[in-house]
Amino acid sequence: MREADFGLFERFGVELEYMIARRDTLEVAPIADRILASHGDEPGSELRVGDVEWTNELVLHVLEMKTPDGPATSLSGLADAFQEGVREANARLEPEGALLLPAGVHPTMDPHRDARLWPHEFGPVYRAFDRIFDCRGHGWSNLQSAHLNLPFSGDDEFARLHAAIRFLLPLMPALSASSPVVDGRAAPWLDARMAFYRDNARRIPSVSGLVVPEPVQDEAEYRERILSRIYVDMAGLDPDGILRYEWVNARGAIARFERGSIEIRVLDVQECPLADLAIMAAITQVLRALCAEETAGIASLNAFSTERLAAILAETIRAGDGAMIEDPEYLRLLGVRADAGLAADEAWLRLLHRFPLEGADAARWSGALDVILKEGCLARRIRRRLGTEPDALTIRAVWTELADCLAHGRQLRQLEVGEPERIRGK
């Protein structure tokens, strides 16, 4: 079944992307096609393994796992399904001398040297992207994300969901930032993946816009204001229309009308599926409230300028959980009371206190979020381990531990005995 068959929050589509790396050096290993080949057959782009589906991505060192046969009825249970998928993938990679790595970017990959495009099914599309945008960069070939797809039915539900996602989008990297190292050095952002993502289509600015989507009232306006402009701007570089599809839109959340869903793209993948699903559960719970106009009317959310939202997003990309939200109207419309600026992690604490998690996995999600909100987003925990000027050996040691976190379904912990429960001075 397609998401188009479902209304708001009736189904959930989840996609998690992981790097394939060599076990000894942790350098990227471009062997996704071997893993996706079933029983020695020619590699395809999809392979059902247990309760998840494995698929390829733009480059050969990335393996994506997603909910199979369309969206799931609940987020509960998915952490275990994806964790089993990770276990099986690592088992198949071990004879190749490889394993899966989490986090939003590979910390030492040289994309100009190491990137190899997927050459099989869907290859012409990837070659078109490479010809137009040059995919030998971090923003194309070195970014691993977690996508959340949420369905809608009809224009009213689309308008509500789009307005809610658009408004909450700038706050999402505060929970999910996991990419503080690039080119073997500490990056100036906790979410380097999103910093590169913002500029990966700069040759045609309309493709990504300001990353935060523009406000729209219905599908017709979305097609006219966003998609049509992209298609027109790309026509000279894509005369055969190879990329003339809605997925060419590179905003941080995109409408997938053929699926009847909106896909959220601003989340870095975490160190284990439980952390990814906990973040998605938190986002979903707040989006439910925004769609129901519990904090502000949809018209008020749409009236908030894209430029102001993009400025908040820039700050969470830079500082993750420690970003200061200085816009009082944004906090007010979000339903968060604050007399002055508020740190992004504190805003999330207040939101989750007002809109507590629900579902069979709520207690597990709450525990995972407790780590994020008390010890810092994954990027901050990584940065503490590395120090300000990490060397190659330290980086490899930390990412080896991250690989172990992924393999065993645990979070990277940072608190020491006797350290205050709430870390300040971020």
Give pLDDT tens digits for 218-265: 999 999 999 999 999 999 999 999 999 999 999 999 999 999 999 999
Question: What pLDDT does residue 297 have?
Answer: 98
Q: How confident is the model at residue 424 (pLDDT cuts 50, 70, 90)?
A: very low
**Which residue, chain included where needed, has tokens 């509500």?**
160
Does residue 418 lie in a domain region? no
Strand segments (E) across 93-220: 98-101, 145-151, 181-182, 185-186
Asked if 61 and 17 count as a contact pair (C-beta separation under 8 A), the reply is no
The first and second tokens of residue 302, run together, are: 């749409």
For the chain, what is the HEC assignment?
CCHHHCCCCCCEEEEEEEEEEECCCCCECCCHHHHHCCCCCCCCCEEEECCEEEEECCECCEEEEECCCCCECCCCCHHHHHHHHHHHHHHHHHHHCEEEECCCCCCCCCHHHHCCECCCCCHHHHHHHHHHHCCCCHHHHCCCEEEEEEECCHHHHHHHHHHHHHHHHHHCHHHHCCECEECCEECCCCEHHHHHHCCCCCCCHHHCCECECCCCCCHHHHHHHHHHHHHHHHCCCCCCCCCCCHHHCCCCEEEECCCCEEEEEEEECCCCHHHHHHHHHHHHHHHHHHHCCCCCCHHHHHHCCHHHHHHHHHHHHHHHHHCEECCHHHHHHHCCCCCCCEEHHHHHHHHHHHCCCCCCCHHHHHHHHHHHHHHCCHHHHHHHHHCCCCCHHHHHHHHHHHHHHHHHCCCCCCCCCCCCCCCCCC
Question: What pLDDT does residue 135 have?
Answer: 85
Measured between alpha carbons, how far is 27 from 403 in angstroms, rounded to an integer?
13
Does residue 421 lie in a domain region? no
Question: What pLDDT does residue 79 have?
Answer: 98
Residue 296 has pLDDT above 70, yes or no: yes
Give pLDDT tens digits for 20-41: 999 999 999 999 999 998 655 6
Instruction: Please list the residues that pair with 253 across neighbouring strands.
Output: 264
The residue-averaged pLDDT of 397-410 equals 98
Residue 269 has pLDDT above 60, yes or no: yes
Question: What pLDDT does residue 377 have?
Answer: 98
If one counts the domains in the chain, the total is 1
The residue-averaged pLDDT of 286-312 equals 98
The proportion of the chain whose per-residue pLDDT surpasses 70, expressed as a percent, equals 95
Measured between alpha carbons, how far is 254 from 262 in angstroms, rounded to an integer?
6
Does residue 40 lie in a domain region? yes
Question: What pLDDT does residue 417 have?
Answer: 38
Per residue in 230-239, is it b (16+ CB within 10 Å) or e — as a string? bbeebeeebe
58 or 363, which is more confident = 363
Measured between alpha carbons, how far is 125 from 119 in angstroms, rounded to an integer?
10
Asked if 147 and 267 count as a contact pair (C-beta separation under 8 A), the reply is yes
Measured between alpha carbons, how far is 305 from 320 in angstroms, rounded to an integer?
22
Give pLDDT tens digits for 62-117: 999 999 987 999 999 999 999 999 999 999 999 999 999 999 999 999 999 999 99
Q: Which of 113, 115, 156, 105 is nearest to 135 (CA)?
A: 115
Does residue 274 lie in a domain region? yes
Measured between alpha carbons, how far is 316 from 312 in angstroms, rounded to an integer?
7
Asked if 268 and 176 count as a contact pair (C-beta separation under 8 A), the reply is yes
Q: What is the CATH number of the domain that holds 192?
A: 3.30.590.20
Residue 195 has pLDDT above 80, yes or no: yes
Does residue 56 lie in a domain region? yes
- How many distinct helices (H) and strands (E) make up the chain? 18, 12
How many CB atoms are located within 10 Å of the residue 85 CB? 23
Does residue 414 lie in a domain region? no
Q: How confident is the model at residue 122 (pLDDT cuts 50, 70, 90)?
A: confident
Among 48-52, 73-77, 260-264, 285-289, the least confident range: 48-52
Measured between alpha carbons, how far is 391 from 404 in angstroms, rounded to an integer?
20
Its pTM surpasses 0.75:
yes
How many CB atoms are located within 10 Å of the residue 142 CB? 29
The residue-averaged pLDDT of 326-342 equals 93
Give pLDDT tens digits for 127-153: 999 999 998 889 889 999 999 999 999
Does residue 415 lie in a domain region? no
Does residue 413 lie in a domain region? no
Measured between alpha carbons, how far is 140 from 61 in angstroms, rounded to an integer?
12
- Could you tell me the residue range of the domain that residue 177 belongs to? 3-408
Integer CA distances (angstroms), 400 to 153, 191, 220, 233, 403, in order: 44, 20, 48, 43, 5
Say which amino acid occupies 261.
S
Question: What pLDDT does residue 421 have?
Answer: 37
The residue-averaged pLDDT of 314-320 equals 98
Give pLDDT tens digits for 150-175: 999 999 999 999 999 999 999 999 99
